[in-house]
Amino acid sequence: MNISSEVKLELERRARQTRDVHERLRLCVVLAKSEGMSNESIAQAHRISVQSVYRYLLEYEIESKTKHSPRGGSESKLDKFQTIELHDHLQKTTYLHSKAICKYVKIKYGIDYTVSGMTLWLNNQGFIYKEPIKVPGKLDPEKQEGFINAYEALKLGLPEGEAIYFMDAVHPEFQSKAVCGWIKKGEVKTLPTTSAQYRMHFVGAIDLKKMEIFAQEYDTVDAESIINFFKEMEAASKATKIHIICDNGRSNKNKKLEEYLRTSKIEVHYLPPYSPNLNPIERLWKVLREKKTYNRCCEKFIDFKLQIRRFFFEDIPKIKDELATRINDNFQRIHLNPIVIAL
């Protein structure tokens, strides 16, 4: 059974998270088969019959079925060919409501489904109600793949004494940011807000190998700030050469910086355009927001500044172990699959 790496990762995630033992069993059977195990070996490993293994695999191939049919529930009203055809249609066309799918099935196959019945069918077939992933409109997957290959070659051939840093700027805003959290049903919690439009400016760089983070605060981030940041890095680092990976924003790519780099031990490598997913330091900024801005409100800007500075200059050394589990170069590879909304 051949399944793509992306599908395999999704099946493994569902197997870890589901509380349904029957669904977990089906997922494990499919994953085992994809890794080359025989039906007999799978049956023995999971203490089930070979016939059950065969049925689970067949139902997955025909219907992508991984969930156990509830007792007392009715079988799908669609035959296997209609199921395959509807699967193909739903993977190409996205509906906002189950009611619209019911209408489509009625027109196409003359079969009536209630909204709840269609929702159950969708769940049983492995569909979930979720948002598409937003990506920059000009993102180029081929250029991203090219960068990943070049980075792996750089890392593999890095001479002793040299270091690789991922660099970016972050601008924490003095505004309350409300995010989801566990709140008792029926209870309403409030978050004070401020209308002030203040923000701070930091440049940071991270060495993933040593989990070393270098950061500086500036009044603004421009060419002069980046040059100053590089000078500070060179003075603080014992590396014989520093490779900086960053985006190609104007502050990072300009004539002043080019002039400075001619006599510097820093070499800059630019990310492809519109590729924040290839810069691991973005995950550090997420940790910053989680620990200092989400669902928090400071009455005064000075208090906000103290909290942000504390994160960079006091908290980071204390949470290096946590950061090592969250920040790495396992890049998220984006494969474009544009959403098409049903009319």
Residue 101: enclosing H or E segment and its boundaries?
helix 98-109
Return the pLDDT at 252: 95
Please indicate, yes or no, whether residues 123 and 154 belong to a single structural domain of this protein.
no
Query: Is residue 332 in a domain?
Result: no
Return the pLDDT at 79: 87
Q: DSSP letter string over 49-73?
A: -HHHHHHHHHHHHHH---SPPPTTP
Please indicate, yes or no, whether residues 115 and 145 belong to a single structural domain of this protein.
no
Three-point CA angle 145, 149, 151, nearest 5° = 115
Query: Is residue 341 in a domain?
Result: no
Return the pLDDT at 65: 59
Return the pLDDT at 72: 40
CATH number of the domain residue 307 falls in: 3.30.420.10
Q: How far apart are CA 261 and CA 17, in angstroms?
A: 49
Query: Is residue 108 in a domain?
Result: yes
Query: Is residue 226 in a domain?
Result: yes
Query: Is residue 311 in a domain?
Result: yes
State how many domains the chain has: 3
pLDDT profile of the chain (343 residues), mean per 10: 80 87 89 89 88 82 62 64 90 90 93 88 84 77 93 96 97 89 85 86 96 96 96 95 96 95 96 93 95 91 95 93 92 73 70
Return the pLDDT at 343: 63
Q: How far apart are CA 284 and CA 181, in angstroms?
A: 21
Q: 89 is in which domain, residue-wise? A: 76-130
Q: Looking at 16, 44, 68, which one is the last position of a domain? A: 68
